[in-house]
Amino acid sequence: MTETTVGIGPGAQTLPGDGGSTDMVLNIGPQHPSTHGVLRLKLVLDGERITSAEPVIGYMHRGAEKLFEARDYRQIVMLANRHDWLSAFANELGVVLAVERMLGMEVPERAVWLRTLLAELNRVLNHLMFLGSYPLELGGITPIFHSFNGREELQHVLEEASGGRMHYMFNRVGGLKEDLPAGWLGRVRRAVGVVRGQLPVFEDLVLGNEIFRGRTAGVGVLSREHVHAYGVSGPIARASGVDFDLRRDEPYLAYGELRDVLKVAVREEGDCLARFECLLEQTGNALDLADACLDRLAELPAGPVNLRLPKVLKAPEGETYAWTENPLGLNGYYLVSRGEKTPWRLKLRSASFNNVQALTELLPGTLVADMVAILGSMFFVVGDIDK
């Protein structure tokens, strides 16, 4: 039982408490701290130590899964594009792969390799955002300028190809919207080289910083058991020693032919530092994969990048599940069709939704100051949570 002191000085009295009188409930959010979106954390504190934590979600809910049911198979690409606005191409990809599987459709080889290239460029764009914003949340402003320089290099070439800087709308059922501009592959190779040259900055400036290491090493340790219990995936799971990556373990697109290039970053510590290290190592490997795709595309003869589709596209009656290794983790679409031009049901399994639930295990027992480091290391996008 706790005790509450009433009054000051010799006349002060110590009164018995009710067992919870010293606890304080603290709301972190809801606010919109720029890139990550609107999240609320309901914390119960004993002094500066967190005793329980509850992520409160839904402030950005758009009802995308219900809207899928009222859009045809061309239109749902636009809805799927937006739940994780840092992984737009990967989001589109999952939907079109599901529909193509229902139709038994094989896209042209050139489209397969271009999709793989664009998916890896999108992965680098996603990771650069977090490689810059995470140190910013811990007080280091310089890294984000380097990360945005790299992002601009890649966004220039992606905008040239698709017309969009964040929401590309470049995937189509049956392939891609159109072929790439003349000389585009060479410009991509140059951009990839520029970004690769900037990665040592994060090694030296961030990982080499004793303050950053002091704030992250041994902080927010996520066990393998909790990874499995909450369905955590992506770099966060691999930082806890769960060596699983769909690109290697259940290959799709051209990843089966890239086994020699694909390296899965894994750590055993499971702390904030390990999560950042996995993200940085995975960024470098994504650039290697992009170079390998460019080499393969240079060898392929000119040809189509899509298939001709009927004016009204209907998927046959049935169901399928298509999942991909998105930048933040496993992204899956469970599609149920009744033979109409719109899905009867399209359920989205987003990476951030599962990953952020692990905060209920990570935060209790830590200090409020460490909460900032742990929250930032979960690398989530709130639109991906709320859907």
Residue type, 353: F
| pLDDT at position 7 | 33
Among 315, 306, 310, 320, smallest CA distance to 107 is for 306
Read out DSSP for 184-222? HHHHHHHHHHHHHHHHHHHIIIIIT-HHHHHHHTTSS--
On whether both 51 and 172 belong to a single domain, the answer is no
On whether both 360 and 214 belong to a single domain, the answer is yes
On whether both 48 and 68 belong to a single domain, the answer is no
On whether both 126 and 174 belong to a single domain, the answer is yes
Q: What are the tens digits of pLDDT across the range 63-75? A: 889 999 999 999 9
Q: Which residue has the tokens 């058991």?
A: 225
On whether both 260 and 350 belong to a single domain, the answer is yes
Instruction: Please give the average per-residue pLDDT across 128-137, as a whole number.
Output: 94
Average pLDDT, the chain: 90
On whether both 296 and 316 belong to a single domain, the answer is yes
Q: What are the tens digits of pLDDT across the range 244-271? A: 999 999 999 999 999 999 999 999 999 9
Q: What are the tens digits of pLDDT across the range 104-127? A: 999 999 999 999 999 999 999 999
| pLDDT at position 33 | 52
User: How many C-beta neighbours within 10 Å does residue 333 have?
Assistant: 26
Q: What are the tens digits of pLDDT across the range 145-186? A: 999 999 999 999 999 999 988 899 999 999 999 999 999 999
Question: Helix (H, G, I), strand (E, B), or coil: what is residue 114?
Answer: helix
Q: Is the dihedral of CA 247, 249, 254, 259 positive or negative?
A: positive
On whether both 10 and 90 belong to a single domain, the answer is no
On whether both 50 and 186 belong to a single domain, the answer is no
On whether both 374 and 240 belong to a single domain, the answer is yes
On whether both 50 and 70 belong to a single domain, the answer is no
Confidence at 1, pLDDT banded by 50, 70, 90: very low
Q: What are the tens digits of pLDDT across the range 219-229? A: 999 999 999 99
Question: Helix (H, G, I), strand (E, B), or coil: what is residue 236?
Answer: helix
| pLDDT at position 4 | 34
Q: What phi-psi label fits residue 114: left (phi over 0), alpha (psi between -120 and 50 degrees) or beta?
A: alpha
Q: Which pairs with CB-CB distance under 8 Å and at least 24 residues apart come from 255-263? A: 255/116, 257/296, 258/116, 258/289, 258/292, 258/293, 261/285, 261/288, 261/289, 261/292, 262/289, 263/288
Residue type, 258: L
Considering only 53-62, 70-79, 129-138, which range has the smallest mean pLDDT? 53-62
Rounded to whole angstroms, how far apart are CA atoms 252 and 98?
12
CATH number, domain at 354?
Answer: 1.10.645.10
| pLDDT at position 166 | 87
Q: What are the tens digits of pLDDT across the range 19-61? A: 545 688 888 877 665 545 688 899 999 989 999 999 998 888 8
| pLDDT at position 3 | 35
Cβ atoms of 154 and 121 within 8 Å: the answer is yes
| pLDDT at position 236 | 97
Domain count for the chain:
2
Pick from 56, 78, 93: which residue ends a domain?
56
On whether both 269 and 124 belong to a single domain, the answer is yes
Confidence at 15, pLDDT banded by 50, 70, 90: very low
Confidence at 387, pLDDT banded by 50, 70, 90: confident
For 25, the domain range is 2-56
Pick from 35, 56, 77: which residue ends a domain?
56
On whether both 29 and 112 belong to a single domain, the answer is no
